[in-house]
Amino acid sequence: MSSNNESSILLIQPVKKLFFQYFRSNLVSSMMLAVYILFDTIFIGRGIGSQGLAALNITLPCYSLEVGFAQMMGMGGATALSICMGQGDKKEANRFFTAAVLFTCTLSLIVGILGGIFWRPISYLCGADDSIIELCGDYLRILNGGAIIFVVNNFLGVFVRNDRDPQRVMVAGIVSCFLNIFLDYVCIYIFQWGMAGAAGATAFSGLISILIMLTHFRKSDCQLQFITSELHLFSRLKRIFQNGLPSLIAECSSGLVILLFNIQLMRFGGVDSVTCYSIISNVSYLFLAVFTGASATLQPLCSINAGAGNYGRVKQFFRLSLLTVSAASAIFILLGELFPQQIVAIFTEPTPGVISIAEQAIRIYFIAFLPMGLNIISATFHQSLEYAREATMISLSRGLIFLVPVLFLLSFLFGVNGIWATVPIAEVLTLMFSIFLLRRLFASRLQAD
């Protein structure tokens, strides 16, 4: 099929060169997000203490929900946009962009205001107790109240990447990351603003990131435009929701995992166990940046080539993603097995209780990274080709179908150690299901190429 001149480079440039060109930028962008979450954790752990870490972990489900909504609208809309671009239909592509922007900004503003008002019941729902409720409130009032900043920052980056400008998203990520680190230090250590200072630093940094990405619209070759004619908002939102639902489920599953783990760990291990899990969660964000970078690379390249009917290139992009995350996963597992105490020491002054829990927890939990990376790539690959049902099933398997029953079974049988083994087992079970879906996909749509 025909394609406009601006997008043709994604259809003809050598696969390996194009993949790693996008992957470098997307990896840096994802790493910057993970790094400033990491430094939030370090500054809170060292500047506020272990209770601050526990409070931070309590608020992570809200953050996951905001990012999940942003990813649903971004991935859902951008997948439709890139497929339409591959088919040469620029106006149709931009109707999806317009619909996604209007709905995302409106809903995130409304929900954010409500979340800022009702922070206390939300905190208790997420597992807080009276010892850390005020710390949770200091963070959640800003995190939820400024939801539109967190949502738009993540949402906009997906569309800018799909419009062939991953470098601008990378620059926005670098600037906001180092700004956040600087403001974290100033707000927590100099002004002594505690959890509220950490949340405020993150919100302001996100705003600067948005402003940088908005300069993309001043480029002469920018293809993103607002088209309100024949918008048919509800029909376009339906396709966006279908395409993006796996991203929402994946991110919310992460939040659900944190919520359930917090509750079970408080029950079986107390605050020390939640502190250890806070460390694991934030290290995971850093490692997951590699998987996220590979996914962010896979989606636009596969979607536009699928729209143009270039399925041979689609399969090559998929294989490169698998190799990339497999190599990274092996490194992550080795780090966890060899240096668990050193990982804990990065975040807080470890007490004997934290050390005794964390050493075993990290060694068990980190095994999950190999199947986890493969599952994330598999879900993104299905999603990029608008196989939303299969992508949704993979995401649900990781977060609900396998993980929840395994968590309650193992915690009942083995206590805290059973909780740490939950994610590795759930990811392995999901991988078996994911392989089945991939074999079916390759045997049908991709077999001819």
pLDDT score, position 447: 66
15-47 and 311-338 helices cross at what angle (nearest 10)? 30
Higher pLDDT, 127 or 320: 320
Q: Tell me if 303 is assigned to some domain.
A: yes
Q: Does 201 score more than 80 pLDDT?
A: yes
Confidence class for position 3, pLDDT limits 50, 70, 90: very low
Is the residue at 233 inside a domain?
yes
Interval 16-32: pLDDT, tens: 999 999 999 999 999 98
In this prediction, residue 7 carries a pLDDT of 60
Of 288, 273, 428, the closest CA to residue 362 belongs to 273
**Position 428, amino acid:** V
pLDDT of residue 250: 84
Q: Looking at residues 57-70, what average pLDDT do you find?
A: 87
Is residue 121 one of the residues assigned to a domain?
Answer: yes
In a domain, 420, yes or no: yes
Instruction: Answer whether 59's CB lies under 8 Å from 136's CB.
Output: yes
For 273-321, the pLDDT digits (tens) are 888 888 888 788 788 999 999 999 999 999 999 999 999 999 999 999 9
- According to the model, what pLDDT value does residue 350 have? 67
Chain segment 404-415, per-residue pLDDT in tens? 999 999 999 999
3 found inside a domain:
no
Q: Nearest to residue 292, comparing CAs of 105, 19, 34, 96?
A: 34
Whether 2 shows a pLDDT value over 50: the answer reads no
Cα separation of 81 and 93, whole Å? 4
Give the pLDDT of residue 1. 39
The pLDDT of residue 427: 96
Neighbours of 327 (CB within 10 A): 11
Is 449 inside any structural domain? Answer: no
- The domain tally of the chain equals 1
Per DSSP, the three-state class of 49 is coil
Per the structure, the complete domain to which residue 431 belongs is given by: 13-444
Q: Using DSSP, state whether 228 is helix, strand or coil.
A: coil
The percent of residues in the chain predicted with pLDDT above 70, rounded, is: 97
What's at 23, amino acid-wise? Answer: F
pLDDT the model gives residue 215: 98
Asked if 264 contacts 407 with a C-beta cutoff of 8 angstroms, the reply is yes
Task: Answer whether residue 324 is part of any domain.
Answer: yes
From first CA to last CA, the distance across the chain in angstroms is: 16
Q: What is the mean pLDDT of residues 136-165?
A: 94
Query: Under a CB-based contact definition with an 8 Å cutoff, are residues 235 and 96 in contact?
Result: no
Question: pTM of the entire structure?
Answer: 0.87
Residue 86 has pLDDT above 50, yes or no: yes
φ, ψ dihedrals at 147, nearest 5°: -55, -35
Angstrom distance (rounded) from CA 73 to CA 3: 24
- The answer to whether the CB of 210 falls within 8 A of the CB of 175 is no
Q: How confident is the model at residue 136 (pLDDT cuts 50, 70, 90)?
A: very high
Decide if 2 is inside a domain: no
Q: What is the mean pLDDT of the chain?
A: 90
